């Protein structure tokens, strides 16, 4: 059982995504009840997304779903702040789920990778 409190862990979640559901269930099975942000309903701002990327240690392209980005009209050559802004405006193109604890974050692909930050 974990001693992680609700406010310690946040998941950027899409309930229609199987990996996102699996990751949420994995957290709960470890005694963690995270703050759940359904990011399609409440998209992160560009600044919030930049902060998430810093915690992930990744560039924006690493969390971009290429098919969804193309469907949203996001140019393949965008990067940096321009890509962050495009992802914030088109949250369906953001890879999910993202789990945050403190100053660290992990992409839940595979779901078990989020356990590294607990």
- Residues serving a catalytic function are 17
ω into 24 cis (within 30 of 0): no
H helix or E strand, kind and range, residue 9:
strand 9-13
Residue 29 to residues 6, 15, 41, 56, 63: CA-CA distances in angstroms? 14, 17, 25, 23, 26
């Amino acid at each position: 059982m974990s001693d992680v409190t609700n406010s310690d862990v946040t998941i950027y979640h899409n309930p229609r995504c199987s990996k996102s559901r699996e990751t949420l269930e994995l957290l709960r099975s470890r005694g963690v009840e995270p703050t759940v942000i359904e990011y399609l309903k409440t998209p992160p701002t560009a600044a919030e997304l930049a902060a998430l990327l810093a915690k992930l240690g990744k560039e924006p392209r690493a969390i971009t779903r290429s098919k969804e980005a193309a469907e949203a009209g996001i140019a393949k050559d965008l990067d940096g702040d321009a890509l962050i802004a495009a992802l914030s405006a088109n949250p369906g193109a953001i890879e999910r789920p993202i789990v945050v604890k403190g100053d660290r974050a992990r992409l839940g692909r595979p779901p078990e990778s989020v356990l590294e930050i607990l």
